[in-house]
Amino acid sequence: MSRLRIFGMIVAVLLVTVMAANAAGYVVILKSGHKIRCKEPMRIEGPNAILTLSTGTVTSYPLQLVDLMETERYNQLGLGDALEIEELGVAGTAIATPTPRTSLGDYATFDTGGSGQPNLGTTTEPTPVPTPGIQLRMTRYPDPRIEQAFAKIFEEKGLLIYKTSQGTAPDFFFVQTTTDSEREVFRALETVAEAYVLIHGLHRELAPAAVELEMVQTSGKPAGTFRLTPELADELVKGDTPPQTFYITNVIF
């Protein structure tokens, strides 16, 4: 047997070994289409999906950004994380694991069912219900100058799909924006906060007492509801808190 043929057989064995090792992993699929390579099945703690990445880093994502059904369907195929490298990607840095604010099982539970693979069992709808009262209203904000100021800043920052109205109080400004991906969610949150901080800094006496933000997907499913005070908006804009952590800490579905 030639050395070249022996070398080829060794390479083939190594490839099979690598593929088998890769297939032992787990893949989490986000609603944005991103696929995240993990070492083990994700855990759900309150509004958060806790992930152990293939590197061993523990991170978390807001649960409503995870496509639970597609993640479950894919991993039931038994492929593990054996995907083309270019198919896998996660934007941004790892998010510190948060302290859950709601008990495990309020959204969904996982059990092995004796198959060695997690089975999804819902206790409530995976998508949380929007916060009552914080919604688009027929009543416009009483000061058109504030509407114009927000509109100008939104346009400059590229936030183009939105609606505004009066919020749950006469001096609360409401913004509803469409966000269909993780990137759009965090970008909209940062943009609204930046606009509020700028307006509050220039015209404190005219600025709203709070800005209420409702983010929804094109399908109508909620992507996060917030009530920003000047202090909260300033915290996000200064960068003291990463937008992912800010989201988990302050979302009020």
Give the best-scoring range by mean pLDDT among 42-51, 132-141, 156-165, 190-199.
190-199
Q: Which tokens belong to 128? A: 């949380």
- Which pTM value belongs to this model? 0.52
* pLDDT number for residue 203: 87
Domain boundaries, the chain: 3-122, 144-250
User: Which has the higher per-residue pLDDT, 185 or 121?
Assistant: 185
Beta strands in 1-156 (DSSP E): 26-29, 35-38, 43-45, 48-52, 58-62, 108-111, 119-122
Is the per-residue pLDDT at 117 higher than 90?
Answer: no
Quote the CA–CA distance of 128 and 139 in Å, as a whole number. 26
Residues 176-218 have pLDDT tens digits of: 999 988 889 999 999 999 999 999 998 899 999 999 999 998 8
Predicted confidence at residue 78, as pLDDT, reads: 67
Q: What angle do CA 215, 201, 166 make, to 5 degrees?
A: 40
Size of the chain, expressed as the number of residues it contains: 253
Domain 144-250 has CATH 3.30.365: no
pLDDT attached to residue 238: 92
Tell me: pLDDT of 241 over 80: yes
pLDDT digits 0-9 by tens, 81-94: 554 333 333 433 33
Within 129-173, where are the H helices?
Answer: 144-156
